[in-house]
Amino acid sequence: MRLLRIMQAADVARSIKPAVCPEVMEQARVIVERVRLGGEDAVRAYASDFDDRSPSAPLVLAPDAMQEAFDSIDEEARQLLRRVSDRIARFAMAQRESIQPMTIDVPGGKAGHTIEPVRSAGCYAPCGRYPLPSSVLMTAVTARVSGCKRVVVASPGANPLMLAAAHVAAADEFLCVGGAHAIAAMAYGFSGFQRCDVIVGPGNAWVTAAKQIVSGVVGIDMLAGPSELLIIADETADPKLIAADLLAQAEHDVDAVPMLLTTSNELVTAVERELADQLESLPTAATARSALANGFVVRCDSLSQAIALTDQIGPEHLEIMTRDASSIPEQVGNAGGVFIGSQTAEVYGDYGIGPNHTLPTGGTSRFSAGLSVASFLRLRTWIEIVSAEENRCFASDAAQMAGLEGLSGHAVSVHARTRV
């Protein structure tokens, strides 16, 4: 049996799974509603069931606990967290500086927008089989750079590495629970813990479902569920690198989706051989092997067909390993993050070379983008009319539009100022 199944191009669209399946959505809805109604008691009950958190353990930790965890890890790890944090912050600061207030002239005055950060950010970071301090840094550092006054990190348990990363990110609170109940707690709050305004970060299917459920109550960044990698490759690509990158994605969890689109028959065979060889020595082979079963390889007639299939899939991560790799991204419409050329491992994005690793999955890159400072900012518009005389031409149009829509009160509001 092949590790990576061969699929026909015509079957790709039918293979795309939604970010959240209906069964998980219903289960998450029950959890979210119980937390909304039950508050702290419900959160504690779920924390005991799913997070191995004892009933007497605090649910929320303060900065001193994060500092203590940071001090407890070795110096090499402390310096590593600081370096990664600095790179994430540098990129986020550049993004923030690129988003500017704006003012234009309008009849009789001016209009524009200001840039306002949300006050309170909830940053979810998974901690399942392994702690993921990179997700703490990606979310909380970006929230802090954006100007949020309160930054909460939520992660199951109180893993020292996660707490240490939260300290480096200057988080204000650490919520020691995970899953859908953590999302609900940040959305609704409970006694002694205020609700957040925006919830961001990746997670499992229940986390993703809960974010979708509470999205009408708080802002969310995107639906960031099980990880995906799609590689576009031609005959010039190195099968060893392709296999290594597919396995790096597959080892995330058994729900990960590794995909390959290639114009080379020889590459299909070579990658399959490399996958088998590399699995032999990979400590996470069991997880990776299961995840490979979710993925596929498509032998494409041309790069144009590969690009068209990519837009159908809308992958979280897109690697391009072709002869003229730098020409491909401008032709792709839907992808969360793009990694150009054989030297650009997707792993570099995971671990903080700059751009954020929290990206849309399940085809949602068709309408959403990865986490950035923009996820925590609001463009608030304003209008100021100072000259009724100069505004007269527009006021006349406004009164006529009110008439077209049958809203006489709108017309009265205009007439009261201009007597048009």
The angle, 0 to 180 degrees and rounded to 10, between the axes of the packed helices 22-50 and 205-214 is: 110
Which residue do the tokens 């204000």 mark?
172
Nearest one of 247, 241, 289, 245 to 267, comparing CA atoms? 241
Active site residue 317: yes
Quick: pLDDT tens for 407-420.
999 999 999 998 64
Quick: pLDDT tens for 120-131.
999 999 998 889
* C-alpha to C-alpha distance for 372 and 318, rounded to whole angstroms: 18
- Assign residue 253 the CATH number of its domain: 3.40.50.1980
Do 341 and 399 lie in a common domain? no
Within a domain: residue 371? no
Count of domains forming the chain: 3
Do 30 and 104 lie in a common domain? yes
Phi, psi angle pair for 296, to nearest 5°: -165, 170
Do 191 and 59 lie in a common domain? yes
Within a domain: residue 376? no
Quick: pLDDT tens for 375-403.
999 999 999 999 999 999 999 999 999 99
Do 272 and 403 lie in a common domain? no
What are the residues facing 296 on neighbouring strands? 259
Do 39 and 97 lie in a common domain? yes
Query: Is residue 358 within 8 Å of 72, Cβ to Cβ?
Result: no
DSSP string of 209-220, one letter each residue: HHHHHHTTTSEE
Within a domain: residue 381? no
**What is the pLDDT averaged over residues 215-230?**
92
Do 217 and 232 lie in a common domain? no
**What is the pLDDT averaged over residues 325-338?**
97
Which residue type does 258 have? P
- Which pLDDT value is given to residue 15? 80
Backbone conformation region of residue 170, classed left if phi is above 0, alpha if psi is from -120 to 50, else beta? left
Query: Is residue 142 within 8 Å of 92, Cβ to Cβ?
Result: yes
Compute the mean pLDDT over every residue in the chain, rounded to the nearest whole number. 95
Active site residue 410: no
Do 288 and 178 lie in a common domain? no
Backbone conformation region of residue 219, classed left if phi is above 0, alpha if psi is from -120 to 50, else beta? beta
Nearest one of 352, 354, 361, 353 to 334, comparing CA atoms? 361
Question: Which of the following is catalytic: 316, 319, 346, 357?
Answer: 316
DSSP string of 299-311, one letter each residue: E-SSHHHHHHHHH
* C-alpha to C-alpha distance for 240 and 118, rounded to whole angstroms: 45
How, if at all, do strands 102-106 and 337-340 pair? Answer: unpaired
pLDDT band at 275 (very low <50, low <70, confident <90, very high): very high
Do 319 and 396 lie in a common domain? no
The yes-or-no verdict on residue 156 having pLDDT over 80 is: yes
Within a domain: residue 372? no
- Residues of the chain with pLDDT > 90: what percent? 91
Phi, psi angle pair for 18, to nearest 5°: -65, 160
Domain boundary among 194, 222, 250: 222
Question: Which of the following is catalytic: 317, 319, 346, 357?
Answer: 317
Within a domain: residue 378? no
- Which pLDDT value is given to residue 56? 87
Do 200 and 84 lie in a common domain? yes
Domain boundary among 192, 222, 252: 222
Quick: pLDDT tens for 20-78.
889 999 999 999 999 999 999 999 999 999 988 998 899 999 999 999 999 999 999 99
Do 212 and 249 lie in a common domain? no
Do 49 and 148 lie in a common domain? yes
- Which pLDDT value is given to residue 420? 46
The residue range of the domain holding 397 is 387-418
Quick: pLDDT tens for 176-219.
999 999 999 999 999 999 999 999 999 988 999 999 999 989 99
- Which pLDDT value is given to residue 19? 78
Do 353 and 394 lie in a common domain? no
Within a domain: residue 380? no
